[in-house]
Structure 1
Amino acid sequence: MMKHLLTTLLFVTPLALGAPTARAATCDRDFLKAQAASYVAAQKAGTPSLLTNSSSSSGSTISYTQNFKTATLTTGILSTPLRIDHNRSIYDTTQCATYTELISTEPNKQHVIGTQLRFSPETLTLSKIETIVTSKGDWLFDPSATLMYSFQESSQGLWDDIPLAKRDTRAVIQAAGDAYLDLFNNKSVKVPWGTPCARLEGGTYIQPSCNVGVPSGIRNVNRRYVVDEVVGTVDVFFDFAGAEPDSHEFRVEGGRLRLVHTMTVMK
């Protein structure tokens, strides 16, 4: 009887014994934080192969644009080592995407950079990189001032998490950013202005109101969003006036705009 029992156990399948199975891939904040960190490390080193979860270090299967033009990882800004004086990222677990702002005041390599990374929700592989690189000659470019004002906004230049009970929905956050951008072409749009509100535009800091100097007759089109409800933030890549590569990042608190960061490439 005992011999028969032992023989039976030897042929029990691992599945029947409840052997662990592969955990389904999850695009959560921890995953996206790790990907944003690998992007920052890759830019510091000027080594695109440091990007994790990319299917090819050469970028052959990754869609990559720089200032909204098709480029390659081996010839773009990511192959240039930069001293990163400050970086800040947001994480969109719904779209499996990140946005990172980089500031470099390194002599002869001064840049303020905004990058959206997008990952396949099924495989979590990096599928798309869009980078806006501003430098001397771009709109109000002054990386030293950008760095200074960023650190004035909050501890270490990082935007604090919003308490769970006070968080806005992603729809509310995106709508606030859209209203601001729509105002450029339609002055009847109601923008949920917050008080106070500060706008970091290039290296210029405008406060205590963001409802200042908004132009007219400007269509902001082809918008791509990264939304992070935890920090109440949406970053929007779009064609300013249908032409210039632009990023506007909005911090929304209680449904109202409180912080805006912009960068615009002047063609």
Structure 2
Amino acid sequence: MKLWILAFSSLALRASAAPLAQEDEPACTREALIEAADAYIAAQTEGSLDALAAFLAEEWIYWEDNEEIDPSTSVLATKALKLDHRRTNADVVECASYTEIISADPAKPYVIGTQIRHGADLKITKIDSVASTTNSWVFDAKKTLDYVVKEDWFEIPEADWDDRDVIKAAGTRTWTCGVMRRRRTRCRGVRRARGWKGRRTRDGARRRIRARWGCRRTITRRRTRIGDTWWIR
């Protein structure tokens, strides 16, 4: 049975205090991070960078699906999305936020995870998104939304909080499938599958894939890791 399970990191990293700031630098606060994330959401619903203009550093960069690209060609700047779900986690120690959004609109379905990083002046220095849509392997925005709305994000009593190092360690060891997509490649990254019986992929799963994908057109399973490489990268 074909089952699509979205791979967004669901670990919210709580920080007990903001990092020490220079006298002429504003402290990183949850309010500032959420305000910038709200501007990002506004930009995505408009399909324009205008709502983000006041929050961007002069030399900010944009990454999409693990590649740096021109922001003007991004999903953020070219696709006005009707959002059915949004959740943002804020990390004042790293001065970064992680926002997951889902648009189950049949005309423009998208599932996007975005990390926003801020500089010492709280301006956005980097936006890093993983965007899945129609033709992404086993993509189903509606089913993803069904899973997400069932999550229970109750507040954990402060006495039961784990410390930051414990949460980061758990995140670093938790692998998620970030983007499953077809991609032209020269057989880098993931071992190609051959024949109808398939071969074992890097994660040990057996895949029944047509031989026609071959080498030049393989199915690449991109993995993103929370912790040190994705959420706190």
TM range (shorter): 0.5 to 0.7
Displacement of 1:162: 2.1
What corresponds to 2:102 in structure 1? 103
Distance 1:84 1:25 in 2: 32
What corresponds to 1:16 in structure 2? none
Q: If you compute each CA radius of gyration, which structure gives the higher value, 1 or 2?
A: 1
What corresponds to 1:35 in structure 2? 36
Q: Contact conserved, 1:103 with 1:111, CA < 8 A, in 2?
A: yes
Divergent runs of 4+, >6 A: none
Distance 2:223 2:83 in 1: 21
What corresponds to 1:53 in structure 2? 55
Counterpart of 2:117, as a letter, is: R
Counterpart of 1:55, as a letter, is: A
Q: 1:55 to 1:170 in 2, by over 3 A?
A: same
Distance 2:225 2:151 in 1: 17
What corresponds to 1:163 in structure 2? 157
TM-score (norm 1): 0.56
Distance 1:101 1:49 in 2: 20
Q: 1:246 to 1:39 in 2, by over 3 A?
A: farther
Distance 1:249 1:139 in 2: 21
CA RMSD of aligned residues (A): 3.0
Q: Structure 1: where are the runs of 5+ without partners?
A: 1-21, 185-198, 203-214, 220-242, 251-267
Q: How many residues align?
A: 169
Q: 1:28 to 1:34 in 2, by over 3 A?
A: same
Counterpart of 2:45, as a letter, is: K
In the TM superposition, 1:80-91 aligns within 5 A as 80-91=79-90
Higher relative contact order (CA 8 A, sep 6+): 2
Q: Contact conserved, 1:68 with 1:245, CA < 8 A, in 2?
A: no
- Give percent identity, aligned residues only: 32
In terms of fraction of residues, the more strand-rich structure is: 1
Q: 1:244 to 1:70 in 2, by over 3 A?
A: farther
Counterpart of 2:157, as a letter, is: P
Q: 1:33 to 1:53 in 2, by over 3 A?
A: same
Q: Contact conserved, 1:132 with 1:246, CA < 8 A, in 2?
A: no
Q: Contact conserved, 1:86 with 1:147, CA < 8 A, in 2?
A: yes
Q: 1:247 to 1:217 in 2, by over 3 A?
A: closer
Displacement of 1:49: 2.1
Name the SS of the counterpart of 2:86 in structure 1.
strand
What corresponds to 1:6 in structure 2? none
What corresponds to 1:148 in structure 2? 146
What corresponds to 1:93 in structure 2? 92
TM-score (norm 2): 0.64
Q: Contact conserved, 2:174 with 2:225, CA < 8 A, in 1?
A: no
What corresponds to 1:212 in structure 2? none
